[in-house]
Amino acid sequence: MTDKNTVFQQNKTLNIRGSLMDLSTPKVMGILNLTPDSFYDGGNYNQCDTALLQVGQMLEEGADFIDIGAYSSRPGAADISIDEEKERLVPVIKMIIKQFPHAILSIDTFRAEVARAALESGAHIINDISAGELDAQMFSTVAEYRVPYIMMHMKGTPKTMQQHATYSDVFNEVLDYFIQKVNVLKDLGVNDLIIDPGFGFAKTTNNNYTLLTRLDEFKILGLPLLAGLSRKSMIWKTLGTSANEALNGTTVLNTIALMKGASILRVHDIKPAVEAIKLVSQLHGL
């Protein structure tokens, strides 16, 4: 670290349905899993009433976005149909918007048809774990709706990704992947882009820590960075514990990600992430 101005990226904004969000101070994205089998909290919030309670709690604790997923992307997760994903997702989106009209909703899906249904229901952002690899219509859909697009690096599918965790140079392969994707999306007129290196997706533990160590080098893309480290196996396998015991480790790695320029922390636990941002911001505001 050379000076305090290099800790966070230069000022960035997202155009969210005509309103600009400033990312010069990092933001928190709360995870809402509507699935019965997600790796940490699967089944806890797959009913409308429990989902609404969780959204209210996350917003109260300071979440800037709510990221809603109805398709489990844990390693080895079973496939579900497009219709089932939409049936899980759309009613919850509508209820959240009705109860929390100012909430900014990100939709965790790699399917263009699901993305379209979510955006028509009032969602604001698409978060695609495959960066368009699993649905050729995703880029054109995002371009049509002119919404912010989070693209993550992954190889294979959620069911097969861990079979593809082989790299000669993981950082440069991921960087090259994003350079190609950014060029295609820019040509389509998509300007509000966010990069997610995909911790835990087709990555070994060593791959994950290499990407975290070099996270600041992704700034060459000139785009905001999202760090999705929350309670992942790179934490609890290293510590010999479990996802349930990985909150402290999550905060440690989130702090490192902030020091290396992350603009968004995607987390299960809002308050610790909000506090990490406040403390790192104070440290580098001296």
Question: What is the CA angle 22-27-30, rounded to 5?
Answer: 135
Cα end-to-end distance, the chain, whole Å: 15
For residues 262 and 100, give the distance between their C-alpha atoms in angstroms, rounded to a whole number. 27
Candidate list 111, 266, 271, 278, residue with the active-site label:
266
266 carries an active-site annotation: yes
Query: What's the sign of the alpha-carbon dihedral 14, 17, 19, 21?
Result: negative
The whole-angstrom distance between residue 81's C-alpha and the CA centroid of its chain comes to 22
Going by C-alpha positions, the residue among 240, 274, 237 that lies closest to residue 254 is 274
98 carries an active-site annotation: no
Would you state the structure tokens that stand for residue 2, as one six-digit string? 């050379």
Candidate list 74, 232, 271, 278, residue with the active-site label:
232
For residues 270 and 61, the answer to whether their CB atoms sit within 8 Å is: yes
For residues 211 and 170, the answer to whether their CB atoms sit within 8 Å is: yes
* Active site (catalytic) residues: 232, 266
